[in-house]
């Protein structure tokens, strides 16, 4: 959190004004987001799920089985929350601020266990911690950008997230460019690195 606060201060030095805001119904957003995602996920991979169920970990198989039982009413109710959240952001957040700044995730990257790559991983608390700040953006379709801004004590990357109004990707990218310029030469390049802008 401290590292991301440094970038809020940096943007203030560039002339940005900071206003602390609260976003309503984030718990409802989290639950509705999960319902929507797993419903769409199991629908999209129904054939694979049916044919390869035995190859999945019990936890992942249980989630997919549960998702296949979500009713149309529950899915529609989750999407009503999406509409409420879109209206709330439009009428109560983006009428006050141009962008929302948060950490990208509430924790740094978790360790990948030996079976995770083969069978998948299901950890509800871990998933909630990882997606704590991204649910509202993913659920409502606003443009979001995550930028690495440093490392924790274990050397794992910390991300800074910028979220903007619908169709204002250019503003999110301009702010991201300023943060990225500030971080130039301060980050370690990964061992495997593909620069898509140079391809």
pLDDT band for position 52 (50/70/90)?
A: confident
pLDDT band for position 8 (50/70/90)?
A: confident
For the chain, the structural domain boundaries read 2-183
Identify which has the larger pLDDT, 92 or 8.
92
Q: Tell me, which fold does domain 2-183 have in CATH?
A: Amidase signature (AS) enzymes (3.90.1300)
- Segment 159-168, tens digit of pLDDT: 889 999 999 9
Strand extents, DSSP E, 30-156: 99-103, 144-151
What per-residue confidence (pLDDT) applies to 199?
60
CA distance 182 to 149: 9
CA distance 9 to 16: 9
Which tokens go with 87? 């209206």
CA distance 97 to 72: 36
Please report, to the nearest 10 degrees, the dihedral formed by the alpha carbons of residues 26, 28, 30, 34 taken in order: -160
Q: Which of 40-44, 60-64, 85-89, 92-96 has the lowest mean pLDDT?
A: 60-64
| Residue-level length of the chain | 199
Which tokens go with 53? 């169920």
């Amino acid at each position: 959190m401290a590292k991301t606060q440094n970038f809020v201060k940096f943007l203030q030095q560039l002339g940005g004004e900071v206003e602390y805001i609260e976003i309503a119904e984030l718990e409802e957003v989290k639950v509705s987001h999960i319902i929507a995602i797993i419903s769409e996920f199991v629908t999209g991979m129904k054939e694979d799920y049916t044919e390869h169920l035995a190859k999945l970990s019990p936890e992942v198989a249980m989630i997919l089985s549960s998702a296949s039982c979500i009713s149309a009413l529950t899915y529609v109710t989750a999407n009503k929350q999406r509409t409420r959240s879109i209206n709330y952001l439009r009428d109560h957040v983006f009428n006050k601020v141009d962008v929302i700044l948060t950490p990208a995730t509430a924790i740094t990257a978790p360790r990948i266990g030996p079976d995770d790559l083969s069978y998948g991983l299901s950890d509800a608390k871990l998933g909630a911690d990882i997606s704590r700040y991204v649910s509202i953006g993913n659920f409502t379709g606003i443009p979001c950008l995550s930028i690495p801004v440093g490392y924790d004590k274990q050397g794992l990357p910390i991300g800074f997230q910028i979220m903007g109004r619908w169709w204002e990707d250019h503003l999110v990218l301009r702010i991201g460019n300023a943060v990225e310029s500030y971080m130039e030469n301060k980050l370690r390049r990964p061992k495997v690195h593909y620069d898509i802008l140079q391809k």
